[in-house]
Homo-oligomer: A and B are copies of this chain.
């Protein structure tokens, strides 16, 4: 009985975290859409593609179909609502840039860890699970940028994907060591979150190759 209660609570918590992550990513999609002067449909679509795209790629690659987000209306309603609201109040959202960075870092950790976990549960080995976790975390943002004709920001600025990748390493190493799932998830999300927030705050960035004209 207690275990059922706990399990229900954990499932609820995970659902809430998952929806929160989707909402934050969707908000970045909605803002981008407004900036690019998309119409309201375009803004909502971009919110949805940014919030759900990473998970869709994950599910198509590991064969977890129909994709998870298609089976629960809340996964579709949340980014749609964020898109509509974002279309109306975008100056307010834009002013929230700093809190959004923090929420986005949480979403990044959550998506990376949940993606790696889901891949391990589908029987995929460690390296593949890291790749899937990474794609889950950054796939939505890449789709967002490609759709508005930008080189994906994750490929050329800041420490972002690296933070996600380190989070997935924590998951697969802890899984190998037999650490309980919940503890692993909390630590891995925290690691990703901290690396991302600190790197943003200290303005760290990854090296770029020198252009040598030879």
Contact = CB atoms under 8 A, between A and B. Distances in A.
Nearest to A150: B149
A151 B156 contact: no
A46 interface: yes
Interface string A68-87: 01110100110000000001
Interface string A92-135: 00000000000000000000000000010011111110011000
A198 interface: no
A151 B43 CA distance: 12
B65 A125 contact: no
B73 A41 contact: no
Interface in A24-79: 33-34, 36-43, 45-46, 48, 56, 59-63, 65-67, 69-71, 73, 76-77
Q: What is the predominant secondary structure among interface residues of chain A facing chain B? A: helix
Given A39-B208, A62-B65, A73 B34 contact: no
Contact of A41 (B33, B119, B162): B162
Contacts of A65: 60-63, 65
A203 interface: no
A70 B146 contact: no
A206 interface: yes
B90 A39 contact: no
11 contacts: A34-B209, A38-B155, A39-B205, A43-B209, A45-B154, A63-B66, A66-B124, A70-B125, A88-B209, A91-B214, A146-B147
Given A39-B207, A66-B128, 9 more contacts: A37-B209, A39-B206, A41-B206, A42-B155, A45-B154, A45-B161, A62-B70, A70-B124, A88-B209
